[in-house]
Amino acid sequence: MIIAVDGPSGSGKSSTARGVATRLGLQYLDTGAMYRAVTWSALEHGLDLDDLAAVAERARAVQLSISTDPQRAQFAADGVDVTEAIRDPRISSSVSKIATNLDVRAELIRRQRELIEASQPTGGAVVEGRDIATVVWPHAELKLLLTADQEARMARRKAELAEGAVTADQLRDQIVRRDADDSTVSQFQVASDGAVEIDSTRLTLEEVIDVICRLAKEAEAASRDRDS
């Protein structure tokens, strides 16, 4: 089973997807971390992020190592562990330039599909991002759009960061501007065909995980019925 989880910044995609993958015994793929790792690599190489061709070439050249164990988040770029570095505010403020580069998107979508295909012999994966259900893997057995209101998303993102790491204005910029930028290249504000929208504003993390696991079991049962 492939479960596709899309949604805006701060909607709880990562924590939710990890929790679902852990409970269902599936692999977990954080596609946003891939864009962050390419951003880190481009900055480390001193590239002008507005130089679309140079950044796309870096995306094709960089060696990415991504853990798909939901209980072990670890990412490396060209042999360097960037698990912590890609969460730095300098990456957060720059990643939209990478994510809106169409050639970069094409390369990372190719890599994401390879990882999803590799997960299938072992049961599948929970994959989260912006356009998983619409572009990367539109035939996922379960497609979800996870949303929350802006204040809830800002509060969740703030809780992920070290105290004083960003100002309130910087945090709002990360949430609002990045969503606006990314919406120019991917549709994640409206549920795609066949996707279930879950508003997590007033739900706890465990409640959201419960809902998705129930939907996954229903989707699995429906699939068995079709095959029988």
Q: Which residues are annotated as a binding site for ATP?
A: 7-15
Q: Which ranges of 48-148 does DSSP label H, i.e. alpha helix? A: 52-61, 89-92, 95-99, 102-119
Q: Which residues lie across from 185 on neighbouring strands?
A: none
- Contact predicate 202/148, CB 8 Å: no
- At position 212, the amino acid (one-letter code) is I
Residue closest to 198 by CA, chosen among 130, 143, 131: 143
Q: Which residues lie across from 126 on neighbouring strands?
A: 3, 28
Query: How far does Cα 166 stand from its chain's mean position?
Result: 21
Annotated binding site: 7-15
124: left (phi over 0), alpha (psi -120 to 50) or beta: left
| Dihedral (CA of 125, 142, 188, 202) sign | negative
Q: 55: Cβ–Cβ under 8 A, 6 or more apart, which residues?
A: 38, 42, 47, 49, 97, 98, 101, 104
